[in-house]
Chain A
Amino acid sequence: MGNGTPLGRVRGLGASHHGTGHWLQQRLTALGNVLLVTWFVVSLLRLPLGDHAALMQWASKPMVAFALILLVVSVFWHLRLGLQVLIEDYVHGEATRLLSIVLLNFYAFGGAAYGIFAIVRIALAPAALGPGGM
């Protein structure tokens, strides 16, 4: 980066035309994942996973639901960046590559929306809110 015209050097976008944005986002979401996924895995090992009522009670706690939503955002953002690189490396035809990127975006955004919606349903379920409801 920066070996081209003076204007190109000012823009700092390099040959890929998007600079270091992808790289930086991958690192930032990776840091989020280290904290959030480690918390999640430890939680899974401590929870009675066969007990639906206990899981509802756990996941509907405001801090847990909040952390789960953060986890979904961080994980799906990160996996979108990672799978994008996989596609760019292995899918070589112009049209199939574009189609793969479109499907990846459907998967990443659709999956994140599904996950967040499920967490909201759990957190706002009548059983989780106790007597009297909302």
Chain B
Amino acid sequence: MAGKEPSGRPLSPHLQVYKWGPHMAVSIFHRVSGDGLAIVGALMFLGWLGAIAAGPEAYAAFVACVWHDPAGGSVHQVTNILGKIVLVGLTWAFFQHLFSGLRHFVLDTGAGYELKANKLWSTVVIVGAILATAATWLYIAKEALNG
């Protein structure tokens, strides 16, 4: 490939020609969730840490932007909804990438490649991540209601 600009060779991964199934989905979800965590998740984490370090006013401004603004600014009403959507997405990405990563540790040992086992554990990863995300947010909602 040295020195060559894009050639006629196929580009990976070929999403448009794959037939969707649990095994293919779990593979592309691993990449999507990982890259989402790497960019959006890591930046949110750094913003949160930096706001704590900068002091109570900076932290209050961070919380008002992402979660809830006691003053109720109209811009913050929008960013609060976006913030929660992003946080739900990050929660799903965390569980998806965690469960899928654990599956990869098993695959690394050479186990789980048989068609049925592969399909079963791919499905378990996808369903497990959705259930864990739902359980986490039910817990958060319950905590919020109880004060």
Contacts and interface: CB of A to CB of B under 8 A. Distances in A.
A17 interface: no
Contact of B52 (A75, A79, A118): A118
Interface of A: 27, 30, 33-34, 37-38, 41, 45, 49-50, 52-53, 55-56, 59, 68, 75-76, 79, 82-83, 86, 89-90, 92-94, 111, 114-115, 117-119, 121-122, 125
A94 B46 contact: no
Interface of B: 1, 3-6, 11-13, 31, 34-35, 37-39, 42-43, 45-46, 49-50, 52-53, 55-56, 59-60, 63, 67-68, 94, 98, 101-102, 104-105, 108, 136, 139-140
A33 to B, nearest CB: 8
A118 B98 CA distance: 26
21 contacts: A30-B104, A30-B105, A34-B98, A34-B101, A38-B98, A50-B67, A52-B52, A55-B59, A59-B52, A83-B38, A89-B11, A89-B12, A92-B11, A94-B5, A111-B43, A114-B46, A115-B45, A115-B49, A118-B46, A118-B53, A122-B53
Contact of A37 (B11, B43, B94): B94
Main SS class of interface, B: helix
Given A45-B139, A59-B52, A118-B50, A82 B11 contact: no
Contacts of A76: 42
